[in-house]
Amino acid sequence: MHARIVAALTLARRDARLRQVDLAKRLGWQQAYVSRYETGERQLSVDEYVAVALAIGVDPVALLGELLSQDCS
In the chain, where are the structural domains located? 2-72
**CB neighbour burial string for 28-67, b if at least 16 within 10 angstroms, e if fewer:** ebeeebbeebbeeeeebeeeebebbbebbebebeebbeee
Which CATH fold topology does 2-72 show? 434 Repressor (Amino-terminal Domain) (1.10.260)
* pTM, rounded to two decimals: 0.91
In tens, the pLDDT along 40-63 reads 999 999 999 999 999 999 999 999
Q: Which amino acid is at 54?
A: L
The predicted model gives 31-36 an average pLDDT of: 98
Q: Which amino acid is at 62?
A: A
